[in-house]
């Protein structure tokens, strides 16, 4: 009995510790939990570079207390990776970065998830397009381009048939009141060759891909689709500056699984506010010619919804989706 009584006493002494432990375990983030970071595309692409840039900053400044496991889960234009994150419903230890395909893939494919299913953390930047003409063109401003296009519809080149290269000029033309013929190419090099040989009147492209030709004068930038013009493009106006804001951009942001704990969303929002203030993040934005557009939580969710609605309207109007 003495032995049993001792065991009971020991159990009673231990009970308060057992009772208080769960409260401590619920603190987020736990250093004992590995963060499962999904990169929905292969190594070396824009989504991969962004994710690993954020992870490097988190590690350098000791912002995340536990281990971070980053894995490329490519396939289906992001459907595989974001589908994997979707299955982590309710978890605060799954995370992923977004890109334009986060919006366009579920519009064109039968995915079990939609952008609004996930827990929004932050829009950190946008990947936007610049409209350019041949450097030898007589058109020197976007106002001249619009006036000419109203008189004689032009052809505008882009990479791919049903993607942002098609959607951006389509929305811009609708706002500005002109028509154009879209010419699809398989690569940026093909469409650049076509423009430089005057087989095209204009084309759209990511500034980072054609910056060298812009700086050399071979291409002349006329207007930028983002909310603010990158320093590399100088005084080029945005579509919004001239009264034709299309209201959509390619979202480079951060998301958690559906129904992630509130404390996890709050922690990541506050942490990303620190990340975007680092010199390393400024260097990432500058070197990748991105637009530093930052929105948190529900504002990011609204941005995603507006972008999706805009894209869906265009794709339905041209019969790309039913």
User: Per-residue DSSP letters for 80-121?
Assistant: HHHHHHHTTTT-SSEEEE--THHHHHHHHS--S--GGGSEEE
Output the CA–CA distances (angstroms, integers) from residue 274 to 54, 63, 152, in the order listed: 11, 9, 50
Report pLDDT for 25.
43
Question: Which region among 21-25, 82-86, 174-178, 253-257 has the lowest average model confidence (pLDDT)?
Answer: 21-25
Fold held by 130-233: D-Maltodextrin-Binding Protein; domain 2 (3.40.190)
Listed in sequence order, the residues at least 6 apart from 14 whose beta carbon sits closer than 8 Å to its beta carbon are: none
> What are the φ/ψ torsions at residue 308 (nearest 5 degrees)?
-60, -45
Judge contact between 141 and 222, C-beta under 8 A. Answer: yes
- 92 pLDDT tier (thresholds 50, 70, 90): very high
Cα 5 vs. chain centroid, distance in angstroms?
63
Q: Span 47-75, mean pLDDT?
A: 95
* Predicted confidence (pLDDT) at residue 29 exceeds the cutoff of 70: yes
Report pLDDT for 26.
59
**pLDDT single digits (tens) 10-25:** 333 333 333 333 333 4
Neighbour tally for 67: CB within 10 Å: 11
**pLDDT single digits (tens) 225-254:** 988 888 889 999 999 999 999 877 788 999
The percent of residues in the chain predicted with pLDDT above 90, rounded, is: 64
* Predicted confidence (pLDDT) at residue 88 exceeds the cutoff of 80: yes
CATH 3.40.190.150 fits 35-127+249-317, yes or no: yes
Pick the closest to residue 101 from 19, 160, 27, 21 (CA basis).
160
Higher per-residue pLDDT: 87 or 25: 87
Report pLDDT for 165.
85
Buried b (16+ CB within 10 A) or exposed e, 285-310: beebbbbbbebbbeebbebbeebbeb
Report pLDDT for 127.
84
Question: Which region among 112-121, 177-186, 212-221 has the lowest average model confidence (pLDDT)?
Answer: 177-186
Domain ranges across the chain: 35-127+249-317, 130-233
**Strand order of the sheet with strand 219-224?**
180-185, 154-159, 202-205, 130-134, 219-224
Q: Return the CA Rg of the chain.
A: 24
**pLDDT single digits (tens) 99-135:** 888 998 898 888 999 999 999 999 999 888 999 999 9
Report pLDDT for 8.
35
Q: Span 149-166, mean pLDDT?
A: 87
Neighbour tally for 218: CB within 10 Å: 16
Higher per-residue pLDDT: 74 or 85: 85
* Predicted confidence (pLDDT) at residue 9 exceeds the cutoff of 50: no
92/43 Cα distance (integer angstroms): 25
* Predicted confidence (pLDDT) at residue 1 exceeds the cutoff of 50: no
- Residue corresponding to tokens 């480079």: 252
Report pLDDT for 7.
39
Segment (H or E) for 186: none
| DSSP 8-class letter at 291 | B
Half-sphere exposure of 60 (CA within 13 A, CB side): 12
Q: Span 180-206, mean pLDDT?
A: 92
Q: Span 88-105, mean pLDDT?
A: 93
What interhelical angle do 46-60 and 262-275 show, nearest 10? 90
What is the chain's mean pLDDT, rounded? Answer: 88
Residue 219 structure tokens:
């291409």
* Predicted confidence (pLDDT) at residue 307 exceeds the cutoff of 90: no
pTM given for the model: 0.74
User: H/E/C letters for each residue in 29-80?
Assistant: CCCCCCEEEEECCCCCCHHHHHHHHHHHHHHHCCCCCCCEEEEECCCCCCHH
- 5 pLDDT tier (thresholds 50, 70, 90): very low
Report pLDDT for 18.
36
């Amino acid at each position: 009995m003495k032995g049993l009584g001792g065991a009971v006493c020991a159990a009673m002494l231990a009970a308060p510790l057992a009772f208080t432990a769960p409260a401590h375990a619920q603190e987020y983030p736990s250093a004992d939990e590995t963060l499962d970071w999904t990169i929905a595309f292969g190594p070396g692409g824009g989504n991969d570079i962004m994710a690993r840039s954020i992870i490097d900053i988190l590690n350098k400044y000791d912002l995340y207390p536990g281990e971070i496991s980053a894995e490329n889960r490519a396939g289906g234009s992001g459907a595989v990776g974001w589908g994997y994150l979707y299955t982590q419903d309710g978890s605060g230890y799954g995370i992923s970065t977004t890109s334009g395909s986060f919006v366009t893939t579920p519009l064109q494919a039968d995915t079990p998830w939609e952008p609004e299913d996930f827990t929004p953390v932050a829009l950190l930047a946008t990947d936007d397009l610049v409209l350019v003409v041949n450097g030898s063109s007589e058109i020197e401003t976007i106002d001249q381009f619009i006036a000419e296009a109203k008189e004689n519809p032009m052809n505008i080149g882009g990479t791919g048939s049903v993607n942002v290269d098609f959607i951006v000029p389509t929305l811009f033309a609708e706002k500005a009141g002109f028509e154009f013929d879209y010419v699809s190419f398989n690569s940026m090099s093909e469409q650049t060759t076509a423009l430089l040989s005057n087989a095209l009147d204009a084309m759209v492209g990511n500034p980072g891909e054609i910056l060298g030709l812009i700086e050399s004068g071979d291409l002349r930038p006329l207007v930028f689709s983002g909310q603010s013009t990158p320093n590399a493009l100088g005084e080029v106006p945005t579509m919004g500056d001239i009264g034709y804001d299309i209201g959509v951009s390619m979202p480079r942001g951060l998301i958690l699984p559906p129904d992630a704990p509130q404390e996890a969303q709050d922690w990541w929002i506050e942490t990303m506010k620190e990340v975007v203030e680092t010199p390393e993040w400024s260097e990432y934005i500058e070197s990748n010619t991105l637009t530093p557009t930052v929105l948190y939580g529900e504002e990011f969710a609204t941005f995603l919804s507006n972008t999706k609605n805009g894209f869906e309207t265009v794709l339905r109007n041209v019969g790309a989706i039913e």
